[in-house]
Amino acid sequence: MAKVDIAAVQTKIVEKQARWQARANTITQLSDAARKRMLGVVVDQAELAREVAAAKPPAARANAPEAPGAPGFAPAVDWRNRNGNHVTSVKDQGGCGSCVSFCTTALTESMASIEKGQKLDLSEADLHFCSSHGANCSGWWPNNALGEIKNRGIVDEASFPYSSAFTGSGGAPVCKNVANRDDKAVKITNFGALSSATDRKNHLTNVGPCSAVIEVYNDFFAYSSGVYSHVSGALAGLHCVLVIGYSEVDRCWICKNSWGAGWGDGGYFRIAYGQCGIDTTYPFHWATGVKIPGGKWSGWEDLGGIITSRPQAVSWAKDRIDVFARGLDSAVWHRWWDGAGWRGWESLGGLIHGAPAAASWASGRLDIFGIGTDHKLYHKWFQGGWSGWGSLGGFLTSEPAAVSWGPNRIDVFARGGDNCMWHLWWDGARWNGWENLGGQLSSAPAVCSWGANRLDCFVRGLDCQLHHKWWDGSRWSNWEALGGILTDAPAAESWGPNRIDVFVPGTNFHMFHKWWDGTKWNGYEDLGGVLSSGVGVSSWAAKRLDTFVMGTDSHMYHKWYA
């Protein structure tokens, strides 16, 4: 047993005027052999030479502010606080040399958050014990692990928990066969290496974290806080970590380790530039193009027309979509998908400001709403044939939003002359309201419902952020800020219980997606496009979304998720 001598390490830190602190922890109490078993990088020298020679930034950086290889990096980066937290929680590899699987899995999780807006918890056990590596605790090389993630993927942690892997003879690891594995595996599309310091910092600034290899000396096990530099002790082995940022002021890399949150600075550490081979001997490894199983987004489909508002959409049955927009004549125009093809355009008349709104409370039933030139709300419905337009009063300064949470029920929302959100509803017998729901809106509201007597409303506030207010069946909530920078009104839809999908136009004219998965908000996810309006959205089945926008040519465009 050879515990790390903390007092001796602290003495060396003072002697060398190093910028870090040491303390005892569970790892410093282990034997030399036990600590070395945690260091699982095995270098293939020929592969390392090839990677360094071929190292270059990923193609994903073609749109970065600077050309590849040119300085284009920020003075400091930390992906725990870079348009949100894109670093998953610190994990513990235990006494197994599986650090390469932990650092590359962490890389995949971070890129899923950055690219897809989804926080994943993936199975290091699946990668380390069920891949070409084999069911053992020996080491690996990051490039080999990333190749397995690209070709084979990684399942979620719940399907194969790391703690459940050590059930073999004497506690040896085993592979667990996961049912329907291919339907659960998360993959990457591209991976590679970065050699120069400039390329590494450009990537961390513009793309995301990287995995890195470091030489671990005995003093490193005692790291507590500060900027680490080697001061004492022999080389114990090589280790793989996730680099989540850097600081030019402190001249250091910021890293996430896999020795549990009780080690280091909550499981993280900072290491000085040029130390332990992190940026001299070994390249950084990157990954992009995360592919998450399940539905996929289509491209954009041009549905023609010449429209002068954002489209609004609703579905009254499986494989049925009805879309409405204002035309050049300020009338409402209608186009619909009947399960076999797109039909229309059909003029429904009227003379409206902004976009119409649409709701459906039964198969074959449509209710549309528009704001007239007198700022009143007007209503027209279809049930075997179209009605005329009828006035519902009010004094409104935005286009309306409408939804139905049950048979013969309609809820309508719009901004009033006081910039508050106002509510009018049909209870099956008569119209009720208007009800003032407060807020200070700088856009039209959006509304969706995921259950009977449930309403979720979304608006752009005076701060241009997304704000949320909901009715839970007995009372209205306060307003909740959900961030983002919106350039127009939001859109919202629900495909099932406790699920909400919100779409907003961003400052780059792309469509962005934020969603509630039943426990937390996820996103924003950039879905591209070049929008000249807000978004309309409908859903005709679970895990089905159809979005519609006006393009720069005033055509209606369609993008769907299935």
pLDDT digits (tens, 9 = 90+) for 95-144: 999 999 999 999 999 998 888 777 789 999 999 999 999 999 999 999 99
Burial annotation 78-106 (CB, 10 A radius, 16+ → b, else e): bbeebebebbbebbbbbbbbbbbbbbbbb
Tokens of 385: 């044939």
Burial annotation 546-559 (CB, 10 A radius, 16+ → b, else e): bbbbbbeebebbbb
Torsion of CA 80, 82, 85, 87, to 10 degrees: -50
Q: Residues, the chain, total? A: 562
Which residue ranges make up each domain of the chain?
6-288, 301-561
The Cα 371–Cα 351 span in angstroms is 8
- CATH number (3.90.70.10, 1.20.1630.10, 3.10.20.30, 3.40.190.10) of 6-288 reads 3.90.70.10
Whether 257 contacts 268, CB under 8 Å: yes
Which amino acid, one-letter code, is at 103?
C
> Residue 99 catalytic?
yes
Sign of CA dihedral 542, 550, 504, 111: positive
Q: Looking at the predicted structure, is the pLDDT value of residue 508 above 70?
A: yes
Q: What is the CATH number of domain 301-561?
A: 2.120.10.70
> Residue 252 catalytic?
no
DSSP label at residue 48: H
What H or E segment, with its residue span, contains residue 452?
A: none
Res. 149 pLDDT band, cuts 50 70 90: very high
pTM of the predicted protein model? 0.59
For 543, other C-beta atoms within 10 Å of its C-beta total 12
The Cα 526–Cα 516 span in angstroms is 16
Whether 357 contacts 371, CB under 8 Å: no
pLDDT digits (tens, 9 = 90+) for 417-443: 999 999 999 999 999 999 999 999 999
Closest by CA to 375, choosing from 317, 321, 416, is 416
Please work out, in degrees rounded to the nearest 5, the angle formed at the alpha carbon of residue 95 by the alpha carbons of 92 and 99.
Answer: 60
pLDDT digits (tens, 9 = 90+) for 385-397: 999 999 999 999 9
Which residue pairs from 345-349 have beta carbons closer than 8 angstroms and sit at least 24 positions apart in sequence? 345/305, 348/324, 348/380, 348/386, 349/389
The predicted model gives 41-45 an average pLDDT of 90
Tell me, what's the pLDDT at 69?
52
Q: Which of 143, 230, 257, 276 is catalytic?
A: 257
> Residue 436 catalytic?
no
Whether 256 contacts 87, CB under 8 Å: yes
pLDDT digits (tens, 9 = 90+) for 268-327: 999 999 999 999 999 999 999 999 887 789 999 999 999 999 999 999 998 899 999 999
Integer angstrom CA distances of residue 483 from 33, 43, 52, 492, 504: 49, 44, 41, 15, 11
Which residues face 363 on adjacent strands?
A: none
Which residues face 254 on adjacent strands?
A: 245, 270
Strand order across the 312-314 sheet: 312-314, 321-326, 332-337, 342-347
Whether 190 contacts 108, CB under 8 Å: no
Instruction: Return the percent helix, strand and coil in the chain, to nearest 5.
Output: 15, 35, 50
Tell me, what's the pLDDT at 60?
41
Q: Which of 99, 103, 210, 276 is catalytic?
A: 99
- By DSSP bridging, strand 455-460 and strand 466-471 are antiparallel
Q: Which of 239, 334, 379, 558 is catalytic?
A: 239
